């Protein structure tokens, strides 16, 4: 009497396990595959990176990859003028918008231990942050704090780095071991708000300095910004790569 129910339960369990196995091995929608024998393999990889853009913008919860809109950063400290009363700004709780709109202009795939290289253009980045400042700006004491806003146009990122492979569950995975990043920024529009208890003179003096000396702020910001962005980009890449076997990028 119970045999039909036992057989039904057994068949149900087998089918369920097969579905789970197929789902586990399915190529996720955020992976765009390339053919190993494609004579334009590099162009295909560039297209695969471009394919990732909307998924990076909204995040990929199943692999715990956070959204890059906004891209979160912690702290940058900028010494803008020299001397014992030099003007210093510290940026905190930075939200960077626009990084998912990148365009891959060129790429060199890592081969025989050589580093990979890529040039990426981001049309516009917007940075919102909290800031504190200390020191004298021109001839005005300008210690205080408030909101910092920046719009960076024409951002070029030159990336280079090295990858390694590891084995897990019979599959090969890639890992970004090192990543270097160099930024070139065409234009920068910087300003502050809600600072100095809204003292109009100090606000206008500081924003005038930022408008006329935006390049100095960017130069001061650049070394730290490059280092932090490289670290965060590598972290995001490895979060993706540890869930995507190398062979998923290829079609035989």
Average pLDDT, the chain: 83
d(Cα 220, Cα 229) in Å, to the nearest integer? 15
**pLDDT at residue 195 is higher than 90:** no
Tell me what the mean pLDDT of segment 113-132 comes to. 91
Residue 188 exposure: Cα atoms within 13 Å on the Cβ side: 25
Q: Over the stretch 101-115, which tens digit does the pLDDT of each residue have?
A: 999 999 998 777 789
- The model's pTM is 0.79
For 202-216, give one letter per residue: b (16+ CB within 10 A) or e: bbebbeebbeeebee
For residues 187 and 154, the answer to whether their CB atoms sit within 8 Å is: yes
Quote the pLDDT of residue 2.
44
Q: Over the stretch 49-97, which tens digit does the pLDDT of each residue have?
A: 999 999 999 999 999 999 999 988 888 887 776 766 677 888 999 999 9
d(Cα 214, Cα 235) in Å, to the nearest integer? 30
**pLDDT at residue 6 is higher than 50:** no
Residues with Cβ within 8 Å of 92's Cβ and at least 6 positions away in sequence, in order, are 74, 75, 129, 130, 131, 132
Quote the pLDDT of residue 220.
83
């Amino acid at each position: 009497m119970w045999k039909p129910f036992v057989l039904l339960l057994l068949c149900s369990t087998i089918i369920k396990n097969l579905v789970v196995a197929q789902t586990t091995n399915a190529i996720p929608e955020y992976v765009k595959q390339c053919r190993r024998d494609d004579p334009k393999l590099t162009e295909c990889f560039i297209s695969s990176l471009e394919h990732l853009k909307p998924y990076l913008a909204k995040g990929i919860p199943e692999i715990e990859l956070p959204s890059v809109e906004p891209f979160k950063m912690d702290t940058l400290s900028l010494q803008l003028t020299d001397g014992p009363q030099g003007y210093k700004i510290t940026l905190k709780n930075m939200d960077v918008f626009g990084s998912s709109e990148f365009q891959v202009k060129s790429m060199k795939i890592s081969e025989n231990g050589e580093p990979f290289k890529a040039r990426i253009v981001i049309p516009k980045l917007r940075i919102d942050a909290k800031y504190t400042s200390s020191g004298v700006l021109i001839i005005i004491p300008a210690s205080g704090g408030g909101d910092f806003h920046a719009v960076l146009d024409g951002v070029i990122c030159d990336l280079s780095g090295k990858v390694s492979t590891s084995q897990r569950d019979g599959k090969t995975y890639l890992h970004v071991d090192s990543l270097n990043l160099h930024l070139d920024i065409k234009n920068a529009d910087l300003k502050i708000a809600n600072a100095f208890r809204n003292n109009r003179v100090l606000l206008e003096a500081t924003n005038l300095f930022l408008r006329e000396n935006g390049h100095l702020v960017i130069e001061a910001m650049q070394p730290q910004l490059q280092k932090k962005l490289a670290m965060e980009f590598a972290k995001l890449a490895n979060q993706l790569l540890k869930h995507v076997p190398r062979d998923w990028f290829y079609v035989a």
